[in-house]
Amino acid sequence: MKKLLIIGGFGFIGTYFLEKYSKKYEIKVLDTNFFGYENKDNIEFIKKDIRYLEKIDLENVDIVVHMGELSNDPLGDLNKKITNEINHNGTKKLLKLANNTKITKFIYMSSASVYGFSNKIMDEESEINPLTEYSKAKVNNENFILNNEFTFENIILRNSTAFGFSKNLRLDLVVNDLTYLGLFENKINLLSDGTPKRPIIHIADICKAIDLIINHEESLDKEIFNIGDNSMNFSIREIAEVVANLLKIEDITFGEKDSDQRSYELSFDKLNKYFQSFEIEFTLEKGVENLIDNFKTYKFSGNERRIKVLNNLINDKKLSDELIWR
């Protein structure tokens, strides 16, 4: 049984991965647990900030899946210095410590946000254009991986905008947010004019891609993969219309052009070439229907919007301004 260390494993994507694959792998999680995930399944857990990682934390590990950074773009722009310390310097430290250990594979969760803005369909060879501190840190980490030699394989995953239901839910993601507003407030108000484009992917399908890459036997060292599906490029308006149709909401309110300038469509042909068995389980419609069903019975804790939670923890003196537990 392969031994995994999942950095950030108690987050939005990580908790879904644990739910689906905890019996397939021997898993250890390293996480700050800022957002209060209850470890009811007794997963081996190291409560630690990546900035304070030690070599001992990487013992008895075959594969590292690194998803433990401040996420997402708006959160990353709140404090650029801290974002760089955690997302870039922390990742560099992790990679250096992992060198010359028994680790054989390192899967780095980057982001499609590195593409920034483009009117063309972008693939892994396209020029990137990071517009936020979050995406700039992702690019810096990619470059550090690509420009250095390590004793393990490095694979970079540029995930599309995630959506779906997990045990550590996020509402600061476009599909989840619009579904929540439509279901509980019976309205859909867009901040933008709806024209920006995003590739989206359900977290189940991100986890499926991770599982395939973990078990891929041929070397994928320094390969970059866009993670998603060619059928899942949408404008924000199109996403809103799907949600409105499923919830029978007649009116969508549009704003002006948003301060968020990101807009891009992606090609996923490389992923399909390398992993011909990869097929998405969740279309947008199926994913929204699943969200609606889960939202109806879910007990919302107030931890679903990341920026608000961190600000509350700082104001309550539980976290320092540097995002360190007091």
pLDDT digits (tens, 9 = 90+) for 140-165: 999 999 999 999 999 999 999 999 99
Residue 176 is predicted with a pLDDT of 98
The model's pLDDT over 225-248, given as tens digits with 9 standing for 90+, comes to 999 999 999 999 999 999 999 999
Q: Is residue 254 scored above 70 in pLDDT?
A: yes
Contacts of 52 (CB under 8 A, 6+ apart): none
The encoded tokens of residue 294 equal: 């889960």
pLDDT per residue as tens digits for the range 306-321 = 888 888 888 899 888 8
- Reported residue count of the chain is 326
Q: pLDDT value at position 325?
A: 87
Average pLDDT over residues 168-192: 94
Residue 197: exposed, middle, or buried by beta-carbon count in 10 A (0-12, 13-18, 19+)?
buried
Please check the confidence at residue 76 and state whether its pLDDT lies above 90. Answer: no
- Residues 256-292 have pLDDT tens digits of 766 677 899 999 999 999 999 999 999 999 999 999 9
Domain ranges of the chain: 3-315
pLDDT at 305 (0 to 100): 86
Domain 3-315: give its CATH architecture: 3-Layer(aba) Sandwich (3.40)
101-110, 281-290, 295-304: least confident range: 295-304
pLDDT, average across residues 32-48: 92
The mean pLDDT value for 63-88 works out to 86
Give the residue from 3, 85, 55 showing the smallest Cα distance to 324. 85
